[in-house]
Amino acid sequence: MGKYVIAGNWKMNKTPAEAVELIEAIKPLVKDATCDVVVGVPFVDLPAALEAVKGSKIGVAAQNCHWEKSGAYTGEISAEMLKAMEVGYVILGHSERRTYFGDTDVTVQKRMRAALDAGLTVILCVGEYLEQREQGITGEIVAMQTKVALGGVSEEELARVIIAYEPVWAIGTGRTATAEQANEVCAQIRDVIAGLYNAEAAKAVTIQYGGSMNAANAAELLAQSDVDGGLIGGASLKPADFATIVAAAK
Ligand code: PEP
C-alpha cells in the first residue's frame, strides 16, 4: 500500500453491469496514477468489479463486513467471505452505517478485528456531527472513535489500516471542511496514532479526508501536510471528476 490513497465510496449505487461500465470509464483515466486507487462498491457488484479491474491498478473495497466468520446473521456478509473472493479492502464505520444501521465504536472494533484477521485492508471512517464541532469536541470524538476501533490492533496490523476523517456534516451535503479544518483534525488523528503506537507509525499511517471532496476542491485539500488522500462519495461516480481527484493526489 502506498502512502496516498484515493478511494471511491459508491454507497448504494450501480448494478453489476453499471459497475463494469463505470470501472471501464475510470480505468484509462487513472492508468498513470501515482497514488493507490480504490473503488468501494455494493456487495453484489464485487464479482463484476473484481473482474473489471484486472490488469489495472484499481483495488476493490466492500462497504462493510460482519465480525463473525459465519452463522445465523441473516443479510450479513463476513470478512472471510470477502477474503474468499479476494477483495482487498473494506470500508468500516462509515457515518451512514453509524447513523442509519446502528454501528457503534464497539461494533466497528469487532468488524476491524475480523477484517484484519481475514487479511483485508481497512478504511476506518471517523468524524464528528455538526453539534459536536460546534461544542468544540471534534478532537475528543475522533480520538475516541480511533482509539476504540484500534483496540487490539498491533503496529504490524496498523499497516493495513487507512483512517478516513469524515466530518458527518460534510458528507453528501456539498459543504466541505476547509483545508485548514481538514488538516487540523487529520493531524490530531496522527497524534492519537503516535500516542497509541509511536512517531514512526504515525508518520506512516495514511489519513484521508472525506466529505464533499470534488474535482474543484481536491487539490487544496490534498496539498495539506496531514491529508494523505480522500474518501470520495458523489464525485466517485463521475469518471472525469474522480480522475481529477486522483491526479491531484501527489
Ligand atoms: C462518503 O460517502 O464517504 C463521502 C465522503 O461522500 P461525499 O463525497 O458525497 O460527501
Which pLDDT value is given to residue 69?
97
111-120, pLDDT tens digit by residue? 999 999 999 9
Mean pLDDT (whole number) for 49-71:
97
Pick the atom of ligand 1 nearest to 210's CA. Answer: 5
Report the pLDDT averaged over residues 153-168: 98
- Return the C-alpha cell found at 25: 470509464
Cell 476523517 found at: 165
pLDDT band at 174 (very low <50, low <70, confident <90, very high): confident
- Percentages of the chain per state (helix, strand, coil), in multiples of 5: 45, 15, 35
Q: So what's the pLDDT on residue 180?
A: 97
DSSP of 82-146: HHHTT--EEEES-HHHHHHS---HHHHHHHHHHHHHTTPEEEEEE---HHHHHTT-HHHHHHHHH
Q: Into how many domains does the chain fold?
A: 1
Residue 229 Cβ < 6 Å to ligand 1: no
Q: Is the CB of 231 under 6 A from ligand 1?
A: yes
| For residues 183-199, average pLDDT | 98
Q: Output the domain CATH number for residue 192.
A: 3.20.20.70
Active-site annotation holds for 166: yes
Q: Tell me the percentage of the chain whose pLDDT exceeds 90.
A: 96
Across the chain, mean pLDDT equals 97
Percent of the chain beyond pLDDT 70? 99
Domain that holds residue 102: 5-248
234-248 tens-digit pLDDT: 999 999 999 999 999
Atom of ligand 1 nearest to the CA of 170: 10
Residue type for 210, please? G
Mean pLDDT of 12-41: 97
Catalytic site residue from 66, 80, 94, 128:
94
Q: What's the rounded Cα separation, in Å, for the pair 85 and 80?
A: 9
Mutate-to-test residue for ligand 1 from 6, 38, 125, 166, highest number of ligand atoms within 8 A of CB: 166
Contact 248, 219 (CB under 8 A): yes
Check pocket membership of 230 for ligand 1, CB cut-off 6 A: no
Total residue length of the chain? 250
Question: Which ligand 1 atom sits closest to the C-alpha of 171?
Answer: 10
Q: Is any atom of ligand 1 closer than 6 Å to the C-beta of 213?
A: yes
What single letter denotes the amino acid at residue 221?
L
Q: Does ligand 1 have an atom closer than 6 angstroms to the CB of 127?
A: no
Q: From atom 1 of ligand 1, which residue's Cα is the shortest distance away?
A: 233
Please name the residue whose Cα sits nearest to atom 7 of ligand 1. Answer: 233
**94 catalytic residue (yes or no):** yes
- HSE, side-chain direction, 13 A CA sphere, residue 73: 10
CA distance 156 to 164: 19
Catalytic entry in 80, 96, 128, 166: 166
Look at residue 183 and tell me whether its pLDDT is greater than 90.
yes
pLDDT at 167: 97
* pLDDT for residue 1: 63
Atom of ligand 1 lying closest to residue 173 CA: 10
Ligand 1 mean position, distance from CA 102 (Å): 19
Of 2 and 194, which is predicted with more confidence?
A: 194
